[in-house]
């Protein structure tokens, strides 16, 4: 559930200067889709093997309820774009969870794991809200009258690249944390290039997100300033991550960055 909350917070933050406030129950849809995807990824093999695990009944019920709620919210506005988007998310999610090549899923290919997670988050955080924004515009202005400037599309693309890079960087502390659990042949990023270089890469990626923020919004309003502050905070958290730290460093402090970020937006915006 914490992952779903973090994704929804990041979605609201990243869209506050692009599509405006998220409408059409988008935050609820994002929460439900993320929770379903997370539970399927984590527990699918246990469900299929009919094995028990803590809170199995509750997890199953919550997953089914979220599936139904997502369907109720999405089906009335379903169009070609949404079908393609949801199909792409499902395909990546399936390939991430189940073996697709040589008995391996995407998570077992070097660095592909991080790229897969980052792409799914971009599709949910940037593309899905944009599609719903178009649906609202079409409802108000008619199917043939949708005013979208080239500048708006440029902002959307830059924001998508920014989220892709940021999520990739945000995953690095988790990769470092999992070194003590991962098999040596898993070939995660820290296993391939080492912890030090992984942290340098994470900090470098955060600097790129900061530069993109400056390019996106030259007139610094409170939302943009907060974004830059928390990009820097993320870089600091990445730099101080290590395999010796408690699991809660990544699971609580790093994962809580988007939530703290969102709370600050509510307080200062």
Nearest CA-CA partner of 46 in 33, 34, 32, 59: 59
> How far apart (Å, rounded) are the C-alpha atoms in residues 101 and 108?
10
Using CA atoms, how far residue 102 sits from 42, 131, 182, 195, in Å, is 21, 36, 20, 28
248 token code pair: 């809660």
Q: ∠ at Cα 230 (226, 233), nearest 5°?
A: 145
Q: First and final CA of the chain: distance in angstroms? A: 26
Nearest CA-CA partner of 205 in 179, 178, 239: 239
Q: What is the pTM of this model?
A: 0.90
Please report, to the nearest 10 degrees, the dihedral formed by the alpha carbons of residues 76, 79, 85, 88 taken in order.
100
User: Would you write out the chain's pLDDT as a tens digit for each of its 269 residues?
Assistant: 789 999 999 998 888 765 555 666 889 999 999 999 999 988 888 888 888 888 889 999 999 999 999 999 999 888 898 999 999 999 999 998 888 877 788 888 878 889 999 999 999 999 999 888 877 666 544 444 344 455 677 888 899 999 999 999 999 999 999 888 877 777 889 999 999 999 999 999 999 999 999 888 765 577 788 899 999 999 999 999 998 888 889 888 999 999 999 999 888 86
């Amino acid at each position: 559930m914490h992952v779903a909350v973090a994704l929804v917070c990041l979605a609201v933050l990243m869209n506050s200067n692009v599509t405006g406030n998220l409408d059409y129950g988008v935050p609820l849809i994002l929460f439900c889709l993320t929770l379903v995807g997370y539970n399927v990824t984590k527990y699918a093999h246990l469900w299929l093997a009919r094995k028990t695990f803590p809170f199995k009944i509750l997890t199953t019920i919550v997953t089914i309820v979220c599936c139904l709620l997502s369907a109720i919210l999405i089906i009335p506005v379903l169009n070609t774009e949404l079908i393609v988007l949801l199909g792409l998310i499902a395909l990546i999610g399936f390939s991430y969870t189940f073996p697709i090549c040589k008995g391996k899923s995407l998570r077992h290919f070097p660095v592909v794991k991080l790229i897969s997670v980052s792409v799914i988050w971009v599709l949910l955080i940037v593309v899905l809200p944009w599609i719903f924004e178009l649906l609202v515009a079409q409802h108000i202005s008619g199917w043939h009258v949708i005013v979208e400037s080239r500048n708006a599309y440029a902002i959307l693309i830059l924001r998508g690249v920014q989220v892709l890079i940021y999520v990739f960087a945000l995953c690095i502390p988790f990769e470092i944390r999992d070194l003590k659990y991962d098999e040596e042949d898993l070939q995660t990023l820290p296993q391939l290039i080492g912890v030090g270089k992984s942290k340098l890469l994470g900090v470098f990626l955060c600097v790129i997100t900061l530069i993109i923020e400056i390019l996106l919004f030259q007139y610094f309003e409170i939302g943009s300033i907060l974004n830059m502050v928390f990009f820097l905070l993320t870089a600091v958290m990445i730099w101080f991550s290590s395999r010796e730290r408690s699991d809660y460093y990544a699971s609580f402090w790093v994962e809580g960055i988007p939530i703290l970020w969102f709370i600050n937006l509510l307080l200062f915006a």
